[in-house]
Amino acid sequence: MKKTYKIEVDCANCANKMEEAAKKTAGVKDATVNFMTLKMIVEFEEGQEPKSVMQEVLKNCKKVEDDCEIFI
């Protein structure tokens, strides 16, 4: 399952850091962050609950970019 989320991030480098953090989160099969459109597309692993996985994605993204925001 893929879902798209609106994000708030200040620069393209920060967007790349968020993308890498999201990809390393348990339950995420793949993730793409587009800085130009301020969107994150997340593909979840089979059987995962998107809302709970996204809470972890947000925590991991805040570790690398503390002023980022993901609108879940």
pLDDT given for residue 65 in this prediction: 85
Q: Which long-range contacts (CB under 8 A, 24 or more apart) does 14-21 make?
A: 14/65, 14/68, 17/61, 17/64, 17/65, 18/61, 18/64, 18/65, 18/68, 20/64, 21/57, 21/60, 21/61, 21/63, 21/64, 21/65
| Claim: this prediction has a pTM higher than 0.75 | yes
- Ranges under pLDDT 70 in the chain: none
pLDDT given for residue 38 in this prediction: 96
pLDDT given for residue 53 in this prediction: 97
pLDDT given for residue 67 in this prediction: 87
